[in-house]
Amino acid sequence: MSQSANKAARMGSRTLGEPCDDYPAPSLREQLALARRSRETAKANALRRWADKIGIDARDASWLSSRRELLGAGVESDAPRRFMTGEGKISALDVEPLPWLRMTETQITRPMADFLNDGGPARMAAFLRALPCAGVELPAAFDTSLARAEVTAVGGRVDLLVTGRTGSRTFGAAIEVKIDSGLKNPLGAYAAVARDAGLAVEGRSKGRPTGALVVLARSSKKSTRQRLSRNSGWKFVHWSGFLRRFERELATGVDDEDFRAFRRHIWDRFT
């Protein structure tokens, strides 16, 4: 019997739990490499734990500093938090983030719709004022409101469809949410869904618009700009600007702890 056959026979006759001596012990070089990787992992974990303890204000200050030119001269003030969130006593920035959490677009849009519905017409009005809805004169308040996620359209789904009613008029927005992917969605079909919901949208309806068509993303890629240029009425909105305006709108008191925690994750994810 060959040496390999003998080895196979020995391994085949082994019982569960019996030690295996057929595999050579790692060489000294391999052991040193393993120890080095273990030390590097330990250092990374220690740094991560330290970063989690340095405080929300320090992280936010670093974020503001890196985006000074984008955000404007307001960052130079002594109250960067007030610049971001207005005069509210508490905001999403006061919530400890969850750096390990990663959500998909659907995992963001569905909870957002739920939180908007939980907050009623007042929270919906705050959301729409923060978008902003270009050319749409929103009423001071809504009688009723509704937010829906993943609304079926021809060739796709509208990520968020939000509406508020005042008397016989319907206001709102159809929103396409983007994380990092490019814009390839059938925007014309999405605009049709907005019209079916009772929204008069710019360039696609007669009279004064009551609804906005919005692509909400972290950055405007060339492909996104090209697609928007071919679809009248659609506007690009940066996540960072929207979230800052939303925090200021929510400072009026239409907020809650769970919603703040959710927005804190979105803040860290998109800004």
Which residue type does 27 have?
S
pTM of the model: 0.68
- Domain with 34, as residue range(s), is 28-62
Q: What is the spatial distance between Cα 80 and Cα 75, in angstroms, rounded to a whole number?
A: 6
57/68 same-domain check: no
User: Are residue 109 and residue 223 in the same domain, yes or no?
Assistant: yes
pLDDT at 193: 95
Q: Could you tell me the two tokens for 243? A: 């979230």
User: Is residue 219 domain-shared with residue 261, that is, in the same domain?
Assistant: yes
> Is the domain of 227 the same as that of 152?
yes
The fraction of the chain above a pLDDT of 90, given in percent, is 28
Q: Are residues 55 and 157 in the same domain?
A: no
- Do 35 and 27 form a contact (C-beta atoms < 8 A)? no
Would you state the pLDDT for residue 49?
62
Provide the domain count of the chain.
3
Q: Are residues 81 and 207 in the same domain?
A: no
Q: What is the pLDDT at residue 10?
A: 47
Count of H helices and E strands in the chain? Answer: 10, 5
Does 182 reside within a domain? yes
Whether residue 199 lies inside any domain: the answer is yes
Q: Are residues 129 and 84 in the same domain?
A: no
**H helix intervals, 163-234:** 187-196, 222-229
Q: Are residues 194 and 218 in the same domain?
A: yes
- What pLDDT is stored for residue 93 in this prediction? 73
The verdict on residue 10 lying in a domain is: no
Do 145 and 266 sit in the same domain of this protein? Answer: yes
Low pLDDT (below 70) residues in the chain: 1-90, 99-100, 134, 181, 203-205
- The verdict on 39 and 139 lying in the same domain is no
Q: Is 55 part of a structural domain of the chain?
A: yes
Nearest to 185 by CA among 219, 211, 159, 161: 159
Structure confidence at residue 214 (pLDDT): 92
